[in-house]
Chains A and B, each alone.
Chain A
Amino acid sequence: MSDKGFLHSLRTSQRRQRQIRLVLIYLVAIIAIAFALFPIIWIISASLNPANSLSSQKLIPDNASFVNYAKLLTDSEFSRIFPFKKWLFNSVKLAGITTLFSISITTMAAYSFSRFRFRGRENMLRGILLVQMFPNLLLMVAVFLLIQQIGGVIPVLSLNTHSALILVYLGGAMGINIWLMKGYFDSIPKDIDESAMVDGATHWQIFTRLLLPLMRPIIVVVAVLSFIFVYSDFIIARILLKTTEQYPLTVGLYIFTSGQFQQEWGVFAAGALMGALPIVIIYLVLQDQIAGGLTQGAVKG
Chain B
Amino acid sequence: MTEPIDSTGRRKTTFTETMSTGSLLIRLILLAVVDALVVWFILGLVPRGSFILAVAVAIIAVIVNIVVLRANAGPLRWMIIGLVLMAMFAIYPILYTVYVSTTNYGFGHLLTKEQVTQQFESTKYLPEGKGAYTWTAYVSNDGDFALWLQDTQGQSYLAFPDQPISSVEPGQQGVGELDAEGIPSMIDGYQRLNRLAVVRYINDLGKLSFGSGDWIVQISSLDTASELEPQFSYDAARDVLTNQETGVEYKPSKGFFVSQSGERLTPGFQISVGFDNFIQFVKSPALQGPLVSITLWNFAFAFLSVAMTFSLGLFLAIIFSDTAIRGRKLIRTLLLIPYTIPSLITIMIWRGLLNPELGIVNQTLMSIFGWAPPWFTDPWWAKGAILLINLWLGFPYFMLICSGALTAISPELYDAAEVDGASIWQRFRHITLPMLLVAVGPLLVASFVFNFNNFNIIFLFIEGGPPIVGASTEAGYTDILISYVYNLAFAGGRGAQYGMAAAITIVVFIIVAALAMFQFRFTKMWEEVSENV
Contact = CB atoms under 8 A, between A and B. Distances in A.
A67 B322 CA distance: 45
B456 A129 contact: no
A81 interface: no
Contacts of B123: none
B41 A154 contact: yes
Interface in B504-528: 505, 508-509, 512-513, 516, 528
B79 A113 contact: yes
Contact of A54 (B12, B352, B463): B352
A36 B513 contact: no
Contact of A25 (B74, B319, B460): B319
A175 B316 contact: no
Interface string A71-98: 0000000000000000000000000000
B88 A268 contact: no
Nearest to B488: A141
B10 to A, nearest CB: 7
B53 interface: yes
B346 A39 contact: yes
Interface string B313-339: 000100110101100000100110110
Contacts of A172: 89-90
Interface in B223-239: none
Nearest to B449: A135
Contacts of B369: none
A134 B341 CA distance: 25
Interface string A163-205: 0000110111011001000010010001001100100001100
B352 A105 contact: no
Interface stretch (A9-17, A145-153, A218-226): A145-153
Contacts of B463: 258
A90 to B, nearest CB: 15
Contact of B502 (A106, A131, A142, A150): A142
B521 to A, nearest CB: 14
Interface in A245-281: 250, 253-254, 256-258, 261-262, 265, 268-269, 272, 275-276, 279-280
A194 B12 CA distance: 10
Contact of B392 (A35, A128, A149): A35
A224 B377 CA distance: 39
B460 A175 contact: no
B199 interface: no
A105 B62 CA distance: 21
Contacts of A171: 85-86, 88-90
A131 B90 contact: yes
A142 B93 contact: yes
A217 B44 CA distance: 44
B322 A25 contact: yes
A7 interface: no
**Which label, helix, strand, loop or mixed, suits the secondary structure of the B interface?**
helix
B453 A36 contact: no
Contact of B76 (A112, A115, A197): A112
Given A42-B360, A140-B486, A257-B348, A108 B79 contact: yes
Contacts of A143: 89, 93
A141 B505 contact: yes
B89 A137 contact: no
Scoring B11, B74, B93, B489 by chain A CB atoms within 10 A of each residue's CB, the highest score goes to B93
Contacts of B18: 202
Q: Most chain-B CB neighbours within 10 Å: which of A118, A132, A262?
A: A118
Most B CB contacts (10 A, CB to CB) among A113, A138, A141, A280 go to A141
Interface in A36-75: 36-37, 39-40, 42-43, 46, 53-55, 57
Nearest to A231: B342
Contacts of A186: 532
A254 B13 contact: no
B313 to A, nearest CB: 11
Interface stretch (B94-102, B168-176, B296-304): B94-102
Contact of A139 (B11, B94, B346, B355): B94
A301 interface: yes
A145 B90 contact: no
A215 interface: no
B348 A272 contact: yes
A22 interface: yes
Interface string B461-498: 00100000000000000000010011001100000001
A48 to B, nearest CB: 15
A141 B502 contact: yes
Nearest to B316: A32
A253 to B, nearest CB: 6
Contacts of A109: 78-79, 82-83
B17 interface: yes
Given A37-B337, A116-B14, A135-B512, A142 B453 contact: no
Contacts of A261: 351-352, 355
A38 B527 CA distance: 45
A208 B531 CA distance: 28
A43 B512 CA distance: 36
A148 B454 CA distance: 25
10 contacts: A28-B319, A40-B341, A109-B82, A109-B83, A118-B15, A131-B90, A134-B513, A135-B449, A139-B93, A194-B11
Given A25-B322, A143-B89, 13 more contacts: A32-B335, A42-B349, A42-B353, A112-B78, A117-B14, A126-B533, A134-B513, A138-B509, A145-B100, A170-B85, A190-B10, A202-B17, A279-B341
In order of increasing CB-CB distance, the 4 nearest A-B pairs are: A171-B89, A109-B79, A153-B44, A301-B532
